[in-house]
Structure 1
């Protein structure tokens, strides 16, 4: 009986392996863009007066929590 060598990595496609770095870079760029947008929102809200923030139902100390409320629990 002859021994047949099998490739234990046959289930991993070459395309997926080659795509991984590009997927990671793409995910990083998306997160970077989202962070920049959120930073601009924080800056815009910080530039408002306390009266303007109150009209929006915000206190100055709650700006960051408000802007990142869907991203993380602060």
Structure 2
């Protein structure tokens, strides 16, 4: 039978001063920001109005353009 000795184990608790929910929602935000659609919105927002016009997109329609197939916007 194997035994594990954890009496000298160190756990990283550098974020313990932050609340559970803060850390939880930071994780959810990280997941959302890694979404390819969010990256596409960020990319399109970085373009100038002239560049968007060449693509046939108005700045106020970026979210509709990117998320239109999954959300009714």
Residue ranges of structure 1 left out of the alignment (5+ in a row): 1-31
Secondary structure in 1 aligned to 2:70? Answer: coil
1:29-40 equivalences under 5 Å are 36-40=35-39
1:62-73 equivalences under 5 Å are 62-73=61-72
Structure index of larger Rg: 1
Quick one: distance in 2 between partners of 1:69 and 1:56? 16
TM-score norm. by structure 2 comes to: 0.53
Residue ranges of structure 2 left out of the alignment (5+ in a row): 1-30
Equivalent residue for 1:45? 44
TM-score norm. by structure 1 comes to: 0.53
**More helix by percentage:** 1
Aligned positions, number:
42
